[in-house]
Amino acid sequence: MDFEYIEGGVTAALGFKASGIHCGIRKNRDKKDLALLASDRPATAAAIYTKNLVIGAPCTVTKQHLENNTARAVICNSGIANTCAADGIEKANRMCELTASALGISADDVLVASTGVIGPSIDMTPIEKGMPSLVAGLSAGGHTDAAQAIMTTDTVKKEFALQFTLGGKTCTMGGMAKGSGMIAPNMATMLCFITTDAAIDGAMLKSALAEVADDTFNMVSVDGDTSTNDMTVILANGAAGNPIIDTKNEDYQTFTAALYRLCEKFCRALAADGEGATKLLECRVSGGATKRDARLVAKSVINSSLLKAAMFGADANWGRVLCAIGYSGAAVNVQGVRVEFSSAAGRVHVCENGAGIEFSEDSAKKVLSQNEIVIDITLQDGDAFAKAWGCNLTYDYVRINGDYRS
């Protein structure tokens, strides 16, 4: 399968336009706070959402609007999460109505998302006033403005795109995501919007998204907190003209592989931009008894605050890796565990058969002082493999979250 990464983001695929503005939800006028994504034709759509029982009103409304598996637009604000507000559903529906009226489409064809502080009611006035400007700014070049408008504590925008071939037609898939803290997704990520001009029916799109999320978004963690507003949405408008994918054939496999490539990019970007983080961590587990066991081990290690702190200090404290494996809930023969750390500075083997071995602390310090670190864990229980992504834990994480509302 050939995949080529290209410039652009959520508007790289044919038929999509985006816009992003500062409308006044956030006090800082230098930060955009309202984004709009629109397709020039009806699109097949699918989404996955947080499993947190405290769920944002936008997730509930979007779920309702996707009962017919189609959509034309996504409206998203940052600054206020519209969660735990008494009028949350009313406000989420109002955002859809305002967007639909401005675009000349049905409110049921608009999906809504929000991110920011949990609790406050969202003021509709700035959104109403900003809508004409937001719609007027829609363009194929508006992807960067949109990607910036959905950011909260993110320090960098997250947008990627790639191309691939289906049925002899060149297809494009692109997207934008936000997330820096409160990330331990359970069937979604903080916020991610993906578009493609490939033709695929609703059932196959749902299947591909769920399949890919299990190996990508559900395997990334910054701080172990599952958000109330997690949502991943994908729109497929068929503008590329490929034969529609309606069975799990070779084209479905190619489409799913492309989606995995794109989502893996987002996972690495989300983890690398974790609040206060200075290092991206990738944990690779091989030899698991089952896929589930391999995933449990990888996610447990990435989630370990002790391990994350050790990585901040470039300390090869491999015992913390074994500890996290032990409480992961996975079926593991601990006496068969091998652990290695690697980076651009080299590789250091620190554990064999569940016990420590001699290694150079100086070499280990050099390996762990890089900004991207791989933790390789080899089990002796089977042939299952899994990857997870996370980041180190620094003093700045506490500082950022100590005054988040201000």
For 336-380, how does the pLDDT look when each residue is reduced to its tens digit (9 = 90+)? 999 999 999 999 999 999 999 999 999 999 999 999 999 999 999
Residue with tokens 């601990």: 334
Prediction pTM value: 0.93
Residue pair 140/14 in contact (Cβ under 8 Å)? The answer is no
pLDDT at 224: 73
- Nearest one of 245, 263, 70 to 169, comparing CA atoms: 245
Q: Distance (Å, rounded) from C-alpha 257 to C-alpha 263?
A: 10
List of domains in the chain: 4-269 (3.60.70.12), 280-402 (3.10.20.340)
Averages of pLDDT over runs of 10 residues in the chain (406 residues) are 91 98 92 97 95 90 97 96 95 98 98 94 97 98 97 90 97 92 63 97 97 93 78 97 98 98 94 87 98 97 94 96 97 97 98 97 98 98 96 82 64
pLDDT at 183: 58
Among this protein's residues, is 247 annotated catalytic?
Answer: no
pLDDT at 180: 67
Which listed residue (44, 172, 189, 228) is catalytic?
189
